[in-house]
Structure 1
Amino acid sequence: MHKFEGKYAIATGGTDGLTKESVIRMAREGLSGAIIAGRNEERGIKAAEEIKNLTGCECYYVQTDVSKPEDIVNLFKVAKSKIPTIHILVNGAGVCPSMPIETIDAQEWDRVMNINLRSMHLCILEALKFMKPQKYGKIINVSSAAGRIGGTESSIAYSASKGGMITATKCYAKAYGVYNINVNGICPGAIKTNMITDFTYTNAPESLIKQIIPLGRLGKVEDCSGVISFLASNDSDYITGCSIDINGGVFMN
């Protein structure tokens, strides 16, 4: 299957977890080139090599701290020198600190918002420079079930940032549909990645997981990568402003 033949993608947070798996999925489906961004250089270089070795897709790593606007500008500058254009943007960078509400000061609140929410906006602004002139683009924002229903008491900043992503996704979709740019998102629940170690039921016994999650298991990164691949493809051409829930039935919209 080569539904992404001739297409190029950029993914923040693409060095690990469900976002990396999504790049692998698209690369296996014919993606011509990809840029992955993250802070950890060793992990990023390894991830880019893994993607290329597994799929044959040209994949480049750009060291990026998305909390720094200048790093985001540099990311897209480097991307322009490596790939012809950008058809697909996956905003997958994020942090989920576990802290009691009353210990979250202005600095920590801003840190979470800058990484999870502001970086999405700044990346979209840069991607639009490619997508608007070519009248084509697929933007996928990785939000969370916590943005729908609230997370734990210790993840208030994370939950607020992810709720903001869901709402902002609708705004971008309304603004840029005229340019044939689709903007959608996903809202994963408890997926087996490094980020979910803060959730209280991550290490819960199977019997409790089955009580909490109707499908009776934690999610896998593959449960998300297929949805991201769908939203990044032409199969989703008439879908925009939508954030798809991937949570095993914990929240049903």
Structure 2
Amino acid sequence: MHKFEGKYAIATGGTDGITKESIICMARDGLSGAIIAGRNEERGIKAAEEIKNLTGCECYYVQTDVSKPEDIVNLFKAAKLKFPTIQILVNGAGVCPSMPIETIDAKEWDRVMNINLRSMHLCILEALKFMKPQKYGKIINVSSVAGRIGGTESSIAYSASKGGMITATKCYAKAYGDYNINVNSICPGAIKTNMIADFTYASAPESLIKKIIPLGRLGKVEDCSGVIEFLASSDSDYITGCSIDVNGGVFMN
């Protein structure tokens, strides 16, 4: 029940959805402290209070626009002031526009890449300042099944950014294994979150869902948060560079 006692985490995109639920899971298992980062201050403060009240975990919200490198630097500066170290990083921030290929210009392409892919890299660079000296760290990147097979509801920019996360995860894992730093990712499918609320398959009839998804339902955030918790724990000490598919069987590797 206390596998995360003495551990501290940072989670981008942690004010909602999969990433928030993963922090709740870890906090229930003894996580000593967490910082959740996101742009929406009202939602972030509320989420941090909820996590603290539910679990007793020392949880703070830091307003962060991950498309801005200076915000990422400030996020980790805040962590250094609040906690003795950081052992866990969950890169969960992301946007998922649903746009035809020919409508995505340079500005939109860069926006998606900066939020989804570049922010992951910059957060990892900051996290390494904690993890390399202590020779320990758990990094979990939230990718997508779209990064495996391409997107239909999501845009090409989203799919490309998530595919980049999968490949980059392997690069980080190879580069920092000697420091006892595990880097893995998860690839969710259609999960009931605010991100997919406007997608057509989110409201598809059950009969259609069963045809598309072998398990016959949309995923829940809890289906992903438990996997993230596993990757953040000592149970996954000999797993690195992997991307775990959480998609109800839509893609089977």
Q: How high is the TM-score relative to the length of structure 1?
A: 0.99
* Separation of aligned partners in 2, 1:138 and 1:128: 10
Task: Report the CA distance shift for 1:239/1:42 in structure 2 as closer, same or farther (over 3 A).
Answer: same
Unpaired segments ≥5 residues, structure 1: none
Q: Are 2:68 and 1:37 equivalent residues in the alignment?
A: no
- Give 1:171 deviation, angstroms: 0.2
Say what the alpha-carbon RMSD is for the aligned residues. 0.8
Who is 1:225 aligned against? 225
Runs of 4+ in 1 over 2 A off after TM superposition: 197-200
* Separation of aligned partners in 2, 1:218 and 1:202: 8
- Give 1:200 deviation, angstroms: 3.0
Who is 1:154 aligned against? 154
- Give 1:154 deviation, angstroms: 5.2
CA contact (8 A) 2:153 2:200 kept: no
CA contact (8 A) 2:96 2:154 kept: no
* Separation of aligned partners in 2, 1:214 and 1:59: 37
Identity %: 92
Q: Deviations over 1:151-177 (max 9, x none)?
A: 116511000000000000000000000
* Separation of aligned partners in 2, 1:102 and 1:200: 20
* Separation of aligned partners in 2, 1:198 and 1:147: 20
Q: SS of the counterpart of 2:11? A: strand
Q: Deviations over 1:66-112 (max 9, x none)?
A: 00000000000011001110000000000001111111110100000
Q: How high is the TM-score relative to the length of structure 2?
A: 0.99
CA contact (8 A) 1:37 1:75 kept: yes
Q: Deviations over 1:194-238 (max 9, x none)?
A: 111343311100011011100010000000010000000000000
Task: Report the CA distance shift for 1:227/1:153 in structure 2 as closer, same or farther (over 3 A).
Answer: closer
Paired residue total: 253
* Separation of aligned partners in 1, 2:224 and 2:98: 23
* Separation of aligned partners in 1, 2:129 and 2:30: 24
Task: Report the CA distance shift for 1:216/1:182 in structure 2 as closer, same or farther (over 3 A).
Answer: same
